[in-house]
Structure 1
């Protein structure tokens, strides 16, 4: 199955496959994929045009996945419009083209679409009439005369964006060595996590700065920004490895409905991670259980400390 990384190619390949469906025998239509105002440029005779006007992505998690979305359903929304051969055609030609295109898509509800040289997608096609309001807004936006049209939704499933995180060791964290690279230390053995973070800093030849989450993150994003900037710019901390301790309440797995008394209920986790990505060295985020989805997506290495007194096996290199 193709991945979300190839989404752009998947879109282009789906558009080409739709064109080929309409252009190949027995349909045999002139099929373009242009902006509506330029659909007939250089053409003679009736034609149909495919205009991609929107898309949506729906993420979901399979039962076998421990965390984060594992699949994404992509939905592409096309405006399929029929054009007459010329002004004297009285639209008879475009009516035939419209009917042929509509019938072809009804007869082919599923297309196998190649993506690159070694992958393919199963694409489901769903024709749908468009409301007058939607048609009007699309044609007004294009600045072209209104033409007989219908909508097609092309949908397919992709693997969610591959996470680069691996379950590794302290040695793997040392190998990151890059500014703003994020590692997660998960588990209940706080002492072992502290010792491991100190070991990372020592191996990198840098100081270790340990801060509790509530000392740098607040409800006010501007204040959070100031806290982190001050932390990064302090002379004794420049280039330091940062250990964010007690971070479960923000970066751990969280309920879908947050308690109004949760001090981090209004915090945009992605924004905090963006700012941590500007840290001068490796950032280690310590959580007791599993990382939440947004942190998992940004994590390069996770080191697990499953239970007090058993962390040595997780750290062993």
Structure 2
């Protein structure tokens, strides 16, 4: 199954497959994939145009996956418009093109779409009703005259369970720069991790705020939310790089069966990470060993620090 990292290619391949379906000898239409206002450039004769105007992603978790979403359903919404051979449409050519396109979608509800050289998608096609208001809004936005049109939804499933974090260096963390980007510092050398976090803040020209996990995350999610909001809104902390220290109890690899006395047993890790993702700057989570599944799924970069006295395999530069 193709992965979420190939989403852009999956969209492009699906659009081209739809165009090829409508232009196939069995359908026999001129088919373009242009903005509505440019659909007729260089063409003569009746034609249809495919315009991707929106998409949606729906994440879900399979029963076999313990943490985080494992699959994503993608929904692509196309405006399919029929154009006449002449301005007057005297021979109703746009009507024939419209009907042929609608029939082709109905007759071919599933397409096998190649994605790259070694992968493919099963794409389901469904006619999608468009209200007069929706059609008018789309055509007004395009600045072109309203044409006979219908909607098509193309849906397919992608694998979302892969890890996006890469093992990198402190320099890679600096390059993240953006608000809410999450990095992991792993290893037992607390002093080295603290020094590296200070280096990141200095390179970004920001303050560094270091807080132990226990001071912001509690058993109660509302209290955790309050703690994080207060932290982000403090004037001296606005825009600062945040280092969450001693975070392995929540964000490290956890046992399948949690101890009832575990202070974080009722905490939804994903909710905490979602809130951290709204931080005004980079968030660094420091742990001693390996990152747990949900942190590994959300982190952009992991920097691994060796034990004290060992050579550093991931230099800062």
TM over 0.5: yes
Deviations 1:30-87 (CA, angstroms, capped at 9, x unpaired): 0001111111111110000001000000111111112111111100000001000002
Please list the CA deviations of residues 222-250 of structure 1 after superposition, one character each: whole Å capped at 9, or x if unmatched. 43683487788xxxxxxxx8624487489
The 2-side partners of 1:273 and 1:7 are apart by 27
Which segments of 5 or more consecutive residues in structure 1 lack a partner in the other structure?
167-171, 185-195, 233-240, 259-263, 278-282, 304-317
Mean CA deviation greater in 206-215 or 131-140: 206-215
Q: CA deviation at 1:183?
A: 4.0
Check the 8 A contact 1:128/1:151 in 2, yes or no. Answer: yes
Deviation string, structure 1 residues 151-179 (Cα, Å, up to 9, x no partner): 0000001111631459xxxxx8xx85556
Deviations 1:193-239 (A, max 9, x none): xxx63x3646998799974236575323643683487788xxxxxxx
Measured on the aligned residues, the alpha-carbon RMSD in Å equals 4.0
Measured after TM superposition, the shift of residue 254 of structure 1 is 1.1
1:136/1:207 CA distance change after superposition, 3 Å: closer
Q: Is the aligned partner of 1:254 residue 2:256?
A: no
- Report what 1:284 is aligned to: 286
CA deviation digits over 1:256-279, x for unaligned, max 9? 9x9xxxxx89x82212395225xx
Tell me, yes or no, if the aligned pair for 1:56 and 1:74 is still in contact at 8 Å.
Answer: yes
State yes or no: 1:223 paired with 2:233: yes
The alignment status of 1:272 with 2:286, answered yes or no, reads no
Task: Please name the residue that 2:184 is paired with.
Answer: 182
1:112 paired residue number? 112
SS at structure 2 position matched to 1:271:
coil
Determine the C-alpha separation between the residues in 2 that align with 1:231 and 1:148.
53
Q: How many residues align?
A: 263
Gaps of 5+ in 2: 174-182, 199-208, 217-226, 251-262, 305-317
TM-score under structure 1 length normalisation: 0.69
Query: Structure 1 residues 230, 214: CA separation in 2 closer, same or farther (over 3 Å shift)?
Result: farther
TM-score, normalised to structure 2, is 0.69
8 Å Cα contact 1:243-1:286 kept in structure 2:
no
Aligned to 1:37: 37
1:138 matches 2:124: no
In 1: Cα distance, 2:136 partner to 2:197 partner: 62
SS in 2 for 1:87: coil
